[in-house]
Amino acid sequence: MRVSFHTAEEYLSYRYTIPPKPALLPLPDEPFVSLWKEAEGKDVLHFLSSTFALPTERFPFKKPEALKIHLVPTAGGQIPVISTGCHDDLCSMEALVNGHPDIEELPLTVNALTIEAKATGLLHHRVILLGNDPYSNVPASALGLDEDDWLSRSAALRRAHECAHYETLRLFGGMKNHALDEIAADTMGQLAAFGNFSAQRQRLFFGLEGGGKTCTGRLTFYCRKVIPWERTEVYQTVDRALDIIEAKVAALCKEKATHYKILTTILNKSIIELWE
Q: Which of 51, 32, 30 has its CA nearest to residue 42?
A: 51
- Cβ atoms 139, 92 nearer than 8 A: no
231 CB-near residues (< 8 Å, 6+ apart): 8, 215, 220, 223
Q: What local confidence, expressed as pLDDT, does residue 276 receive?
A: 65
Measured CA angle at 174 (ends 168, 177), to 5 deg: 90
Query: Do 159 and 181 meet the contact criterion of CB atoms below 8 Å apart?
Result: no
The predicted structure's pLDDT at residue 2: 63
Whole-prediction pTM? 0.95
CA–CA gap between residue 200 and residue 137 (Å, rounded) = 16
Side chain identity at residue 172, one-letter code: F
Q: pLDDT tens digits for the chain (276 residues)?
A: 566 899 999 999 999 999 999 999 999 999 999 999 999 999 999 999 999 999 999 999 999 999 999 999 999 999 999 999 999 999 999 999 999 999 998 888 789 999 999 999 999 999 999 999 999 999 999 999 999 999 999 999 999 999 999 999 999 999 999 999 999 999 999 999 999 999 999 999 999 999 999 999 999 999 999 999 999 999 999 999 999 999 999 999 999 999 999 999 999 999 999 766
Alpha-carbon distance 195 to 143, whole Å? Answer: 15
- Indicate the Cα dihedral angle 113, 178, 256, 146, nearest 10°: 50
Number of Cα atoms under 13 Å in the Cβ half of residue 133: 18
Q: Please, how many CA atoms are within 13 Å of residue 37, restricted to the half-sphere of its CB?
A: 8
**Cα 24 to the center of its chain, rounded Å:** 24
pLDDT given at position 138 = 95
Q: Name the amino acid, one letter, at 78.
A: Q
Q: In terms of Cα–Cα distance, which of 195, 219, 274 is closest to 241? A: 274
pLDDT at 14: 95
Q: CB-based contacts of 2: which residues, under 8 Å, 6+ apart?
A: none
Interstrand relation of 126-130 and 208-209 (parallel, antiparallel or unpaired): unpaired
For the chain, the domains span 1-16+174-276, 29-145
Contact assessment for residue 61 and residue 34, using Cβ atoms and an 8 Å cutoff? no
What pLDDT, on the 0 to 100 scale, is given for residue 241? 96
